[in-house]
Amino acid sequence: MFEKLLIANRGEIALRVARACRELGIRTVAVHSTADRDSAVVRYADESVCIGPAASRHSYLNAAAIVEAARQTGAEAVHPGYGFLSEDPDFAEICADNGLTFVGPRPEVMAALGDKSRARALMREAGLPLLPGSVETLATVGEARAVADEIGYPVIIKVAAGGGGRGMTVVWSPADFARAYAHTRTVARAVFSDDRVYVERYLPQARHVEVQVLCDGHGGGVHLGTRDCSVQRRHQKLVEEGPAPALSAATLEAIAAAALRGALSVGYSGAGTVEFLVDEAERFHFMEINCRIQVEHPVTEMISGVDLVHEQLYVASGVPLRISQDEVQLRGVAIECRVNVEDPDRDFLPTPGRLDRFQPPGGPFTRVDTHGLPGYVVGPHYDSLLAKVIVWAPERALALDRMERALDEFDITGAGVHTTIPFIRRVLDDARFRKGSYSTDLVDRLLRDGGAPGTSAVHT
C-alpha cells in the first residue's frame, strides 16, 4: 500500500478520501487554492500545499502545480476525486510520467471511454444493448439526418467529447433537425474543441439506472448493484437511491451483469459507473461509463458494506480484488440527498455566504458527508455541493421516512444562504417518487406544477 497520497480535490470528497487514507495508515497531502486555506481537509490532512488562486483553472485544474506538490512532499499516488482532473487522460499520463500512481483506470481506457461515441462502439462489441442510433460519429448534416429519419423522432444529438448531460440537444421533429445539428456542433467546438456528434433515439420518460463496478485490472471484477439517478435538474442529480426501485430482480441482475461484462471487456481498473436508460418495458440501454468515484458512491457503500475508496486504493496499489461476486451481498435500501447552497425559488441560483449555524443530522443509519462547519464561508468559486445526507433502512418506505427525519434535523443558517432541502422535500413527498415508479421527467413536472407552500413556482 502507498505510504503517502496526494488528494487532488476539495470539498466533501477530499475529506472522504483523507478519512479512507487515515483508516489505511496512508499519510495525506491536501492541495488547496487560496480560497480553501482554512478548509476541513486542509486541517485534517497530514500536510497541505497551496497550489494557486481561487479560480480552478489555476489551482485544482493545474496539473503542473499538483505534480510539483507531489514531488515536494514525496507523495507516491494521486487521488483525483470527482470532477476537476478525475477523468482527464492527459493528467493520468502526466502522473505516470512523473512516477505517480493515478487512482483510476489506465489513461488509454479513460481516453477510449471518455469519447462517448467510441464507448458506444466498444460496448456494442461487448454485446451490451444500445439505444437505436449511430455508432460512428456523423460528419455531415445529411448523414446525421438520415440516421434520425431511420430511427424515428424524438432523437437526441450528443457530443462525443461530452457526457454527463453536457452538450445534448433533443430534436422532436424532422423540421428542427438541421438547426439542432448545426447548433450542437457549434457548441461542441466551442466547449470541447471537438465537434464530433452522434445521434440516438430519445426516451423522454426513462429511468436513469447506473451500476457500480470495481475491477482490478488483472481480469478480476465485481458489480455492487444499481442506483437510480433519475431525479436530476439540468443534469445535476438531486436524489439518488439504490437498488433502483420498481424493477424486477431479474432486470437488476441483467443490467448489473451487462455492466461488469462491458467494463471487463475494455480492461477497466478501479471503481467505475456504467450508466443505462431503462424504459417502461424494463428494456435497458447502455449510455456511458464514468471513470471516477461518483458523488453518490455512499448509496452503494450503505447497501453493500464495501468501502469504495478503500477498494480504489487497494486496486491502484496493485492488490488483486479482495472480494468475489458471491461475497457481495446487497441489503436494504439507501437514499442520498444532495444539499446544495442554492435557492430553488430562484432557478437554483447559488447563494454563497457564511454559515452562522451548521448542525448536520445524526441518529441511526444516517451518514452525512460534508466539509461544512459552523462559520464556514461558502465561496462563489466552486460547485455549490455542501453536504450529502445518506440514510439506510431494510425497506424503502422506512428509508424515505428516515430521510425526512434527517432533513428536518439539518440546521443550516446564514445571511442570504439557501439550500436545496425544501425542493428535495417536495421530491420525497411526490406520490410517484413514493411508489418508486418515477422517471427522468419528475423534476420538470414538479417545477411545472409550481410550489407547495413555502416554495415559489414556475420558471418556464
List of residues contacting ligand MV4 (CB under 6 A): 131, 156, 164-165, 200-203, 206, 208, 230, 232, 235, 275, 277, 287-288, 440
Closest residue by Cα to residue 258 from 240, 242, 276, 271: 276
Q: What are phi and psi of 316, to 5 degrees?
A: -65, -30
Q: Which is nearer to ligand MV4, 59 or 273 (CB)?
A: 273
Q: Which is nearer to ligand MV4, 40 or 160 (CB)?
A: 160
Grid cell, residue 322, equals 479482495
Q: Which is nearer to ligand MV4, 88 or 288 (CB)?
A: 288
Closest residue by Cα to residue 8 from 113, 108, 101: 101
Q: Which is nearer to ligand MV4, 164 or 422 (CB)?
A: 164
Q: Which of 106, 196, 227, 292 is catalytic?
A: 292
Residue 303 beta carbon to ligand MV4: minimum distance, rounded to whole angstroms: 21
CB 45 within 8 A of CB 403: no
Q: Which is nearer to ligand MV4, 216 or 296 (CB)?
A: 296
Q: What are phi and psi of 85, to 5 degrees?
A: -95, 10
Region of residue 51 (left: phi > 0; alpha: psi -120 to 50; beta: else):
alpha
* Distance from C-alpha of 325 to C-alpha of 434, rounded to nearest angstrom: 31
Residue 276 beta carbon to ligand MV4: minimum distance, rounded to whole angstroms: 10
Residue 275 beta carbon to ligand MV4: minimum distance, rounded to whole angstroms: 5
Q: Is 337 helix (H, G, I), strand (E, B) or coil?
A: strand
CB 265 within 8 A of CB 122: yes
Catalytic (active site) residue 43: no
Residue 287 beta carbon to ligand MV4: minimum distance, rounded to whole angstroms: 5
Residue 416's Cα: distance from chain center in Å? 28
Grid cell, residue 163, equals 457526457
Residue 197 beta carbon to ligand MV4: minimum distance, rounded to whole angstroms: 13
* Distance from C-alpha of 410 to C-alpha of 419, rounded to nearest angstrom: 11
Residues marked as catalytic: 292
